[in-house]
Structure 1
Amino acid sequence: MASRVTPISGFQEWLPTQRIVEQHFLDTIREVFELHGFASVNTRALEPVERLSDQGEDADKEIYGVRRLAGDDGSTPALGLHFDLTVPFARYVLENGGKLTFPFRRYQIQPAWRGERPQRGRYREFIQADIDIVEADTLPGHYEVELPLVIADAFSRLPIGPYKIQVNNRKICEGFYLGLGIEDVAGTLRTVDKLDKIGADGVRKVLLAAGLSEEQAGKCLDLAAIATPDSSFVGQVRALGVEHPLLDEGLAQLAAVMDAGNEHAPGVLSAELKIARGLDYYTGTVYETVIEGHEDFGSICSGGRYDALASDGKRTYPGVGISIGVSRLLGLLISEGGLTASRETPAAVLVAVTDEESRSDSMRVAAALRARGIATLVAPKAARFGKQIQFADRRGIPFVWFPSEDGDEVKDIRSGDQVPADRDTWSPPEADLRPSLVLP
C-alpha cells in the first residue's frame, strides 16, 4: 500500500539547479575563509540541553530535544540539537584547549536546528558558515576589526547585491545605560534589540513598564537612533550628555572597527547603535548584515565578541565570531530573487553513442575528458542524434561530442557550431567548464 508523502515545513530541499547555487556559495565562502587563514573544524550535532538553554532569553524555547524511541530509561543526560555553531565551538575549545595553538582561527560550515515556527527566512534546519578567532586569556581588539572584512571579501565574490554590515559595541549600550542609572542592563538591551520588530513606541512602552523613567527611556531611544557610515557616531553619543568608563571603551573600539572598514571595504560597514543581539554571551562588538531593499527580511550574517562563553573556571578563552546564515540568505536569493544555475548538472559535455556496439568508445572519450577535469556524461541510449542533442539541451549541457572513426567532432548546441576535436587536447571555454549562476 502506497503511503502519502506529507511535506514538513521549515526544511529546504533544493532542485538540482538550486543545489548548484547553494554549492557555489558554500565553496566560495569556504575558499575565502581559508584565504584568510581559518582552519576547518566539525562538531557533533548534540549538546547537553543545560548548556544550550543557558544562552539567552528564548534559547530554551528553540531547542530540539533528542531521545531514543526505545530503551531510554532516563539515565542519559538530556540532549538537544545545537541551534547555532558558537555554543558547540566553545565547548570544543574547552575540551581541546591543550591541543590547539592560539590564537585559534576556525571556520565551520554545518547545519543547525531551531525549534521555532517556520516563516519567511526562518527554518527548522539551516546551514551556517561561521568563523571565530579565539585566544587564551586575552583577545586583542583588532580581531573585532578583522571579521567583517572577511565577510566583505566573501560577499564581493557572490551575487548578493548591495548590503550593509551593521556594527555596534555592547559596551556602548551597557555603559550608556549604567551612566543613566539603569539597573537591568541586560533586560534593557534585549528590549532595545526588538526595535525593528515592535517600533520605537513599543520599545518605549516596554521600558517604562520595566521601571525606567520617561527620560531614561527617551535617552535609550536617542542612542538607538544613531547611525553613521563612519566614526562620527562618537560625537553624536557624546552630545547626549551621558558618561561612563565602559561607554568610553566601547566608543573607542567601535571607532576602530569603522575606521578600518572604511579603509579596506569602503561603503560596506555602518555604525548602528540599535544593534544589540539577543544572546547573552556577547560582550563587545556585535554585527548584523542586511541586504539593501530587503531590510524587513532581517540579518543574513551576524555575530560578535564573547569573553566568557568558553570558560571552565580555571581558564577563559575569549573569542569573536561571525556567522553567515547560508540557508536564510539563499532562501531570499533563490526563492524570491530567482537566482538559479545555467544548467542542472555539472556536466559540460554529453558524449553521443552511435550504437550500443560502439558505447565502449564513447566511454573512452568520456574517461579522457574527465581525466582533464571536464565533467562529462555518456548518452543513456543510442537514439537518433537529434534525440541525444535534445537530452543535452534539456539539462543545459552546452556541448555534444560525436565519436567517429573518421575523426571526432564536438558541437556547441547553442550556436550550432560543430568542429573537429581531439579528446586529449580539446577543452570547453572556461565559462562553460562549470555551471554559472544566473539572475532573472
Structure 2
Amino acid sequence: MARPTPLSGFPEWLPDGRIVELHVLDVLRRTFELHGFAGIETRAVEPLDQLLRKGETSKEVYVLRRLQEDPEAAPERGGQLGLHFDLTVPFARYVLENAGHLAFPFRRYQVQKVWRGERPQDGRFREFVQADIDVVGAGDLPYHYEVELPLVIAAALGELRSIGLPPVRILVNNRKVAEGFYRGVGLDDVEAVLRSIDKLDKIGPDAVATLLVAEAGATDEQARACLELAAISGDDETVVDRVRALADRHGAQTELLDEGLTELGALVRAAAVRSPGVVVADLKIARGLDYYTGSVYETVLVGHEQLGSICSGGRYDTLASDGATTYPGVGLSIGVSRLVSRLLSAGLVRATRSVPTAVLVAVNDEEGRDRSDDVAARLRARGIPVEVAPAAARFGKQIRHADRRGIPFVWFVGAEGAPDQVKDIRSGDQVDADPAVWTPPADDLWPRVVEA
C-alpha cells in the first residue's frame, strides 16, 4: 500500500499535540462549569434549508448526498442534510425542540467538531473543534448577559496564560451603535454597510470606501463617516464620548445609537474592573452574519493578529422562534483547532511527555510476567498510569524502550524475596519500592502542558 497523502484542512495531532488539545479543552470546560454552564451535544447534521436560512453560502456546507438519496430516508424530515458548520444554528434548533424541558435563562456550553468547505490556510480548517457558550432566554434576555459572557471567555483564556498562551484582546462593538449611526447619516441598507466594514482588515479603508459607494449606495461623505466610526477604539468609556462627538459632527444622533452607546459603555466599564486591558471597544467590528442584533465580539492573540479571530460571537434576538415565543440569546465560540494549531506551530507550548504512562514495569522472564502484571494492577488501583514491558528482553533494552516512549520510571520486580525497586531513568536514581506505598512526584504522575 502506498503511503497515504494527508487531506488538506483536516488536522490530526501527534500524541503530544493531542495532550495539548485535551488540556485546552479541560481548562475551557472547567471554567464554563464554574460559571454555571451545562454541557450539551447536538447531532452532526441539520436540514440544509435550516443551515442556510440566515444567509450563509451553500458552498461551505458539506452535504450528505448518500443519506439524501437513500430511498429509506424521510424527505419530510427536512430533505437534504448537511454537516453543521457552526454550533449556533443547531443550538437554536435544540432550544426550540426542548424548550419544555429547559429552565430559562438556559446556560449551555458545547464542545464539538464542525465542518466547513472553505479554502484551508493557516489556522483555518475544513474540520475543526469549536467550544461555545450561550445564554438563551424565553421572551427576553437582559443586557447584562452581553457583559458577562465576554468576561467568562476572558477568564477561560486567562487560565491558559500559565502554559504559554499569549495575551488576548476581546474586541467588542454593538450593532445598535453601528445601525443607529448608519441610519443617522442616511444609509438604510445597514446589512450592506456591515458587510463592507467587516472587510476592513482584509482589503483596507480605500477598498471599503469603494464598496460602500457601489454596494451600499453611500456618497463619498457617507462612506468617510462610516470609516471614521470604524477607526474609533479604546478600552475605557471615552470611546462613547468620541462616538457621540462624531455623530454630532455628521448629524447622526438617533435613539438607537444612544441605546447602543449606553450598552457599550456598560460593557467597557465592567470589563475595566473585571478584566482590565483585555476587553477593547473597536467600532470596526461588524460580524457579517445578519442574525446579530446587539453586542458583537472578536478575539485576537496579541502578537498573532494575522491569525484572525480565535473567538467570536454576539447577541441574537430572532434566531430561535416558534411563532409564539422568541428565544433571544448571546454567545461566543472559541476556535479550539485554530488556537491549538498556533500553540503547536509557533512552539509556544509543549507536553512534558507524549504518553500518559508514568511507570514501565519490567519483566524478568515470560514465566514471571504475571508478577509484573500484578504490580501494574496495584499501581493503577492507586491512580498511577502504568504499562508492562512488551517483552522480557535485557533490562537495558527495556529501559531504552521506556526512554523512547518518554516514560520516566522503570519498575523492577524483586527476585526470590528481594524488594522491588524503581528507577528514575533520567537521573539514574534507583530505590526500593512497595506498590502499595510508592508514588511518583506530582509533576511526573501525568503528562503536563507547559510553556515551551
| Class of the TM-score when normalised by the shorter of the 2 chains | over 0.9
In the alignment, which of 167, 170, 179 is matched to residue 165 of structure 1? 170
Identity of aligned residues (%): 63
The one of 115, 118, 122 equivalent to 1:116 is: 118
**Which of residues 52, 55, 66 in structure 2 aligns to 1:68?**
66
Alignment-derived partner of residue 49 in structure 1:
48
Q: Which residue pairs with 1:22 in the alignment?
A: 21
Structure 2 residue 299 is the aligned partner of structure 1 residue 289: yes
Matches within 5 A, 1:169-208: 169-208=174-213
Could you tell me how far 1:274 is from its partner in structure 2?
0.6
Return closer, same or farther for 1:205/1:26 CA change in 2, 3 Å cut-off: same
Q: Is the CA contact 2:358–2:386 (under 8 Å) kept in the aligned structure 1?
A: yes
Aligned to 1:133: 135
CA distance in 2, matches of 1:354, 1:30: 43
Give 1:72 deviation, angstroms. 3.2
Q: TM-score under structure 2 normalisation? A: 0.94
Other-structure match for 1:312: 322
TM-score by length of 1: 0.96
One-letter amino acid of the structure 1 residue matched with residue 242 of structure 2? Q
Equivalence for 1:212: 218
For residues 233 and 71 of structure 1, do their structure 2 counterparts lie closer, same or farther at Cα, with a shift above 3 Å needed?
A: closer
* TM superposition shift of 1:69: 6.9
Give me the whole-angstrom Cα distance separating, in 2, the residues matched to 1:294 and 1:220.
Answer: 27
**5+ residue gaps in structure 1?**
none
**C-alpha separation in 1, matches of 2:103 and 2:68:** 42
Q: Deviations over 1:109-151 (max 9, x none)?
A: 0000101111111111000000100111010111111111111
Residue by residue, what CA displacement relative to the aligned partner does 1:315-362 show, whole Å, maximum 9, x if unpaired?
Answer: 100000011100011111112335331111111111111111221111
Moved more, 58-67 or 169-178: 58-67
Structure 2 partner of 1:227: 233
| Counterpart Cα distance in 2 of 1:169 and 1:386 | 65
The answer to whether 1:301 aligns with 2:319 is no
Cα distance change of structure 1 residues 198 and 71 upon mapping to structure 2, 3 Å threshold: closer
2:281 paired with 1:271: yes
Task: Determine the C-alpha separation between the residues in 1 that align with 2:39 and 2:168.
Answer: 27
1:406 aligns with 2:418: yes
The one of 100, 103, 127 equivalent to 1:101 is 103
Partner of 1:331, secondary structure, is helix
The 3-state SS of whatever aligns with 2:194 is: helix
* 1:55 counterpart letter in structure 2: K
Q: 2:259 aligns with which of 240, 249, 258?
A: 249
Q: Deviations over 1:354-399 (max 9, x none)?
A: 1112211111111111111111111111111111111111121111
Q: Aligned in 2, Cα 1:75/1:428: closer, same or farther, shift over 3 Å?
A: closer
Contact 1:351–1:376 (Cα < 8 Å) also in 2: yes
**Cα distance in 2, alignment partners of residues 421 and 254 from structure 1:** 62
The DSSP-based 3-state class of the residue aligned with 1:97 is helix
| Partner-residue secondary structure (3-state), 1:102 | coil
- Quote the residue 1:367 is aligned against: 377
Aligned residues: 438
Q: Deviations over 1:16-46 (max 9, x none)?
A: 1111111111111111111111111110111
Query: Any conservation in 1 of the 2:10–2:127 contact (CA below 8 Å)?
Result: yes
Question: How far is the alpha carbon of 1:78 from its aligned partner?
Answer: 1.2
Gaps of 5+ in 2: none
TM-fit CA distance, 1:407? 1.0
Amino acid in the other structure paired with 1:163: V
1:252-294 CA-partner distances (Å, limit 9, x unpaired): 1111111111111111111111101111111111111100111
Inter-partner Cα distance in structure 2 for 1:178 and 1:235: 19
Matches within 5 A, 1:424-439: 424-439=436-451
**1:52–1:59 CA contact under 8 A, matched in 2:** no
